[in-house]
A and B are shown apart, each in its own frame.
Chain A
């Protein structure tokens, strides 16, 4: 069943406007830092998305900032009511993405909006697109900050959509980190590089909002089919001009080319999702461009990674947490929910559980730290089912009172990590080495019942009739809240 969702960003922009969550900026803005600074402030203040109508040096181009940096925008993108709660959005996401994948369909090239303009050869010049200088001090202009890269496995039909940032190096070259444990990393470094074969790619900029959500989700389902599940309808794809890859027909800009197996060039520094510029400037994966196709008056999407909350933190937390939930449920662990805090820059996940047996917190940590998801987070906080996992105050209270500072904490060393961890030393960053920690905030089951501390809260230590009476009389006591 199709949900009320948007086939492109233009429809999504209109929906944000209708929900009073868009600021249309008619005044000319500069791609060189000004646009980035506006988007950064929007993320930090949780303001409405900016829609830039006029970009200095680039007449005819527009930009759309912070497309999904709040839960409200995510709810709108999913076709839900804008004030849907995080548990409501989470349950809807899990419901839609559990079941049969929805295969994409092909669209006739002549009808595909992303083919309205086609540049090949010398004309396919990256500086003709308004790639922003996002933060002062970045290694270059990042044209691809909210986008995805399409690639295909060398020996199988497996196609990957993944969000891997791309910095403009020169007219024909982009460069970016492709971490070795990512799907594209395994494909490229595992198969193309050993055979010294260039890997065709297509970068999709300005896709519909749910394709973006799918591209940064760590699901095992192919991302185009995953998008179809979120939309409740197939994604419409169209073939590239210069290779055999397929891209969403309604996207704003497509950059086609090859990832080179025999050369790396320096990329970064860049303001990253942790809220710091951390990963080193070092030789990274090189993309050479053959063609650029785009819609009339194309709208570039601009995400600005930095201190919380941007869409990278919000959506990666959201989908990492929910993939963990699916994993733990598939193993029959009696969890009550999983919530990864966006403010933790997706480093901390809270798992609620009915403590049915001893060692359950370790079992949870072993499973999630042992999964494909693990390089991206470092802390698991396991709380019992009395704690509201979505309530930060309750989680902090549980962490500080129920977790034994020695016995409740378990360290996991020699784990895969990323070069992006601000706390890691330079050698750890160089080799993407991580470490992880479990905070077990459940009381041990072997304690005598009489020794178990009783939570002193309004809901827990007063008889029901007293609670009811107090609630009934609250206003008459003189309280206004």
Chain B
């Protein structure tokens, strides 16, 4: 199965981003089955790596004003976190 692709906005210095640690991030789904859901955002508990091959899915990185970084990272989504009570 082709890798899934997500992206995320990193609002701190890229060098400060912790790798290989469970953390909560917002990601956007770039490859949903139904294309109408492209860019759906969700909070996720995930582990990320700056290596493209370490985790199963690809993670594209954007900076605070939308600047896309050339090289993707990789991500393992552990679970989607629901922030709403209904």
Contacts and interface: CB of A to CB of B under 8 A. Distances in A.
A binds B: yes
Contact of A127 (B40, B62, B68): B40
A138 interface: yes
Interface in B30-86: 35-42, 62, 64-68, 83-84, 86
Interface size class of A (residues with CB under 8 A): 20 to 34
Interface stretch (A65-73, A167-175, A219-227, A451-459): A167-175
Nearest to B41: A169
A466 interface: no
A281 B9 contact: yes
A395 B60 CA distance: 48
Given A141-B39, A281-B11, A263 B65 contact: no
B62 A137 contact: yes
Given A266-B9, A288-B84, A127 B37 contact: yes
Interface string B20-38: 0000001010000001111
Given A266-B26, A280-B64, A57 B83 contact: no
Given A137-B62, A169-B41, A269-B66, A263 B36 contact: no
Contact of B41 (A58, A137, A170, A277): A170
B39 A140 contact: yes
A249 interface: no
A133 interface: yes
B62 A57 contact: no
Contacts of B28: 140
Interface size class of B (residues with CB under 8 A): 20 to 34
Nearest to B11: A281
A32 interface: yes
B40 A170 contact: yes
A127 B36 contact: yes
Nearest to B26: A266
B84 A139 contact: no
A138 B9 CA distance: 10
B80 to A, nearest CB: 10
Contact of A58 (B11, B36, B83): B36
Interface in A169-223: 169-173
A111 interface: no
Nearest to A276: B65
Q: Give the 3 A-B CB pairs with smallest separation, nearest first.
A: A137-B66, A269-B66, A277-B65
20 contacts: A32-B38, A56-B35, A57-B35, A58-B36, A127-B37, A127-B40, A133-B39, A137-B65, A137-B67, A137-B68, A139-B9, A140-B41, A170-B40, A170-B42, A172-B84, A173-B84, A260-B84, A263-B84, A266-B9, A280-B64
Interface of A: 32, 56-58, 127-128, 133, 135-141, 168-173, 260, 263, 265-266, 269, 277-278, 280-281, 288
Given A135-B66, A139-B66, A140-B28, 17 more contacts: A57-B35, A58-B36, A127-B36, A127-B37, A127-B40, A137-B62, A137-B65, A137-B68, A139-B9, A168-B39, A168-B40, A170-B40, A170-B41, A170-B42, A263-B84, A281-B9, A288-B86
